[in-house]
Amino acid sequence: MYAVIMAGGKGTRFWPRSREKRPKQLLNIVGRRSMLQQTIARIANLLPVENVLVVAGEAHGEELRRQLAELPAENVFLEPVGRNTAACIGLAALLVQNRDPSAVMVVLPADHLIADEDLFLSTLRAAVAMARKQPALITLGIRPRSPETGYGYVEAGDQVHKIQEHRFYKVSSFHEKPDLERAKQYLEKGNFFWNSGMFVWQANAILAEMKNYLPGLYNDLHKLKPFLDTGGLDEKINQIYPELESISIDYGIMEKANNVLMIPADFGWNDLGSWASMAQIWPRDDQDNAHLGEIVAMEARGNVVFSQQKLCVLLGVADLIVVDTEDALLVCPVNRAQDIGKILDAMKQRGMEEYL
Other CB atoms within 10 Å distance of the CB of residue 154: 26
What is the per-residue pLDDT for 273?
A: 84
Is the pTM higher than 0.95? The answer reads no
Query: What does the pLDDT look like over 214-272, one tens digit per residue?
Result: 999 999 999 999 999 877 899 999 999 999 999 999 999 999 999 999 999 999 999 88
- Is residue 11 predicted with pLDDT exceeding 80? no
What is the per-residue pLDDT for 231?
A: 79
Last residue of a domain, one of 240, 270, 300: 270
DSSP string, 151-217: S-EEEEEEEEEEETTEEEEEEEEEEPPP-HHHHHHHHHHS-EEEEEEEEEEEHHHHHHHHHHH-HHH
Q: What percent of the chain has pLDDT over 70?
A: 100
Query: What size, in residues, is the chain?
Result: 356
Please give the Cα distance from 46 to 122 (Å, whole number). Answer: 9
Mean pLDDT of the 281-285 span: 94
- Is residue 148 predicted with pLDDT exceeding 90? no
What is the per-residue pLDDT for 8?
A: 86
Query: Are 30 and 179 in a shared domain?
Result: yes
Please give the Cα distance from 275 to 298 (Å, whole number). Answer: 22
Task: Report yes or no: 231 and 73 within 8 Å, Cβ to Cβ.
Answer: no
What is the per-residue pLDDT for 9?
A: 80
Count: domains in the chain: 2
Query: What does the pLDDT look like over 54-106, one tens digit per residue?
Result: 999 998 989 998 999 999 999 999 999 999 999 999 999 999 999 999 999 99
What is the per-residue pLDDT for 209?
A: 98
Task: Report yes or no: 290 and 304 within 8 Å, Cβ to Cβ.
Answer: yes
Q: Are strands 269-270 and 290-298 parallel, antiparallel or unpaired?
A: unpaired
Query: Are 52 and 184 in a shared domain?
Result: yes
Task: Report yes or no: 119 and 266 within 8 Å, Cβ to Cβ.
Answer: yes
Q: What is the domain extent for residue 314?
A: 275-355
Q: b vs e for 316-349, b when ≥16 Cβ sit within 10 Å of the residue's Cβ? A: ebebbbbbbbeeeebebebeebeebeeebeebee
Residue 213, Ramachandran bin (φ over 0: left; ψ between -120 and 50: alpha; else beta): alpha
Query: What does the pLDDT look like over 298-352, one tens digit per residue?
Result: 999 999 999 999 999 999 999 999 999 999 999 999 999 989 989 999 999 999 9
Query: What does the pLDDT look like over 103-145, one tens digit per residue?
Result: 999 999 999 999 999 999 999 999 999 999 999 999 999 999 8
What is the per-residue pLDDT for 142?
A: 96
Query: Are 42 and 139 in a shared domain?
Result: yes
Q: b vs e for 207-239, b when ≥16 Cβ sit within 10 Å of the residue's Cβ? A: bbbbeebbeebbebbeebeeeeeeeebeebbee
Query: Are 142 and 49 in a shared domain?
Result: yes
CATH of the domain at 118: 3.90.550.10
Query: Are 300 and 263 in a shared domain?
Result: no
Q: Which helix (H) or strand (E) holds 140?
A: strand 137-142
Query: Are 200 and 219 in a shared domain?
Result: yes
DSSP string, 19-45: BTTB-GGGS-SSSSS-HHHHHHHHTTT
Last residue of a domain, one of 270, 305, 325: 270
Last residue of a domain, one of 237, 270, 303: 270
Query: What does the pLDDT look like over 16-63, one tens digit per residue?
Result: 999 988 899 999 988 889 999 999 999 999 999 999 999 999 989 899
